């Protein structure tokens, strides 16, 4: 293949190497430090994990491209904080593969939407947004009611997430299917295990108001209701964000 203009060839390869070296340094300088520090992410030993049902809901959020119109990142600006709540901490998206901070707010920020509205409101708003908010531009997601969640698939999802660093235990992975069902069935036998594995604060209830089947509506509402609820850190009195968290005065 190569061999004719050997010398000229070396020129262009040197050129390519030059471009690579010159261009990679910028990325390296900015990104590498973020992987070496713990200070980027505040410590929170009590950080909750997404349950299998919430993970399924998060995957629907990803699949439907919700990030196109909704951010999940409250900035350190007064009006952002007053409108949406405490500014987002790095730790809160620690287990988000990928992060869904978003770049555009055609709709409002959702970083702390969990618990703000009832399950009924969320489900109805997803089915027909303009029935509750007449000026809304959001698409109708009524079809979520018609698609069933597949609990038996969740174990492989949790396993893949563990591979990329989310600390799911063997027990959580083994019981992923049961926990998916249990979280939406508060009176059933499987719900106790969800509390055991994911903590007493886990939302265990039927999210879409239809006990007969476990739909994607259940999963997505379960996910929306956990947003901003994975850690109590922002609400803890006297907790200061770490030194590297942005603030207006800090000019280091």
Partner 1 sequence: MTHDFFVMLSKSWGLFYLIFLFGIAVAYALWPANKEKFDRAAKSIFHDQDEK
Partner 2 sequence: MTFDFSPAERDAAIGTSFVAILIGVVMMVSSQSAAFTTHGAMFFAFGVLAFFGFAKDYNKPQAQPYSRDVYYDTPIKLGILLSIAWAIFGFFIGDWVAWLLAYPDLTFDAAWSSFGRIRPAHTTAVIFGFGGNALMATSFHVVQRTCRTSLPGRYGPIFILLGYNLFCLLAVTGYFLGVTQSKEYAEPEWYADILLTVVWVGYFFVFLNTLARREEKHIYVANWYYIAFIVVVALLHIVNNLAVPVSFGDTKSYSAFSGVQDAMTQWWYGHNAVAFFLTAGFLGMMYYYLPKAAGRPIFSYRMSIISFWGITFMYMWAGSHHLHYTALPHWVQTLGMTFSIVLLVPSWASAGNALLTLNGAWDKVRDNATLRFMMVAAVFYGLSTFEGSFLAIRPVNSLSHYTDWTIGHVHSGALGWVAFITFGAIYSVVPQLWKRERMYSPALVEVHFWLALAGTVIYVFAMWNSGIIQGLMWRTYSENGTLTYSFIESLEAMHPYYIARAVGGLLFLMGGLVCAYNVWKTISSSKIVGRVSTSPDGVLEGAA
User: What is the contact surface with partner 1 in residues (CB under 8 A)?
Assistant: 22, 25, 29-30, 32-33, 36-37, 39
Counting Cβ atoms within 10 Å, is residue 113 exposed (0-12), middle (13-18) or buried (19+)? buried
Q: Which is nearer to partner 2, 2 or 200 (CB)?
A: 2
Q: Which does 236 bind (CB under 5 to 8 A by kind): partner 2, partner 1, none?
A: none
DSSP type of residue 22: H
Three-state SS string over 197-252 comes to HHCCCCCCCCCCCCCCCCEHHHHHHHHHHHCCCCCCHHHCCCCCCCCCCCCCCCCC
Site for partner 2 in 34-93 (CB under 8 A): 34-35, 39-41, 59, 61-69, 71, 73, 75-80, 82-83, 87-93
Q: Which does 36 bind (CB under 5 to 8 A by kind): partner 1, partner 2, none?
A: partner 1
Task: Name the minimum Å distance from CB 15 to partner 2.
Answer: 7
236 binds partner 2 (CB under 8 A): no
Sign for the CA dihedral angle at 98, 218, 185, 157 comes to negative
9 binds partner 2 (CB under 8 A): yes
What tokens does 101 get?
């901070």
Q: Which is nearer to partner 2, 27 or 237 (CB)?
A: 27
DSSP type of residue 93: G
What tokens does 225 get?
């209701």
95 binds partner 2 (CB under 8 A): yes
Task: Name the minimum Å distance from CB 16 to partner 2.
Answer: 6
Task: Name the minimum Å distance from CB 196 to partner 2.
Answer: 25
> What contacts 36, CB < 8 A, 6 or more positions away?
none
Q: Which stretch binds partner 2 (CB under 8 A): 44-52, 104-112, 168-176, 202-210?
A: 104-112
What tokens does 28 get?
């390296």
In sequence order, what are the beta bridge partners of 148? 215
Q: Which is nearer to partner 1, 43 or 160 (CB)?
A: 43
Q: How far apart are CA 55 and CA 191, in angstroms?
A: 17
Q: Which is nearer to partner 2, 101 or 195 (CB)?
A: 101
């Amino acid at each position: 293949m190569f061999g004719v203009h050997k010398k000229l060839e070396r020129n262009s390869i040197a050129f390519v190497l030059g471009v690579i070296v010159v261009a990679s340094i910028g990325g390296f300088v900015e990104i590498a430090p973020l992987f070496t520090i713990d200070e980027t992410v505040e410590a929170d030993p009590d950080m909750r994990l997404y349950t299998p049902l919430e993970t399924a809901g998060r995957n629907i959020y990803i699949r439907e491209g919700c990030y196109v119109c909704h951010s999940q990142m409250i900035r350190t600006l007064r009006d952002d904080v007053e409108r949406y709540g405490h500014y987002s901490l790095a730790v809160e998206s620690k287990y988000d593969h990928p992060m869904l901070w978003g770049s555009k707010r055609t709709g409002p920020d959702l970083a702390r939407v969990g618990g703000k509205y009832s399950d009924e409101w969320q489900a109805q708003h997803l089915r027909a947004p303009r029935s509750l908010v007449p000026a809304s531009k959001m698409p109708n997601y009524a079809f979520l009611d018609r698609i069933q969640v597949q609990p038996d698939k969740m174990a492989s999802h949790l396993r893949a997430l563990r591979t990329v660093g989310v600390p799911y235990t063997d027990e959580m992975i083994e019981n992923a299917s049961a926990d998916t069902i249990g979280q939406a069935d508060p009176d059933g036998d499987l719900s106790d295990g969800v509390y055991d594995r994911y903590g007493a604060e886990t939302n265990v209830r039927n999210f879409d108001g239809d006990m007969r089947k476990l739909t994607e509506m259940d999963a997505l509402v379960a996910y929306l209701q956990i947003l901003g609820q994975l850690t109590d850190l922002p609400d803890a009195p006297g907790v200061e964000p770490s030194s590297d968290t942005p603030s207006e005065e800090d000019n280091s």
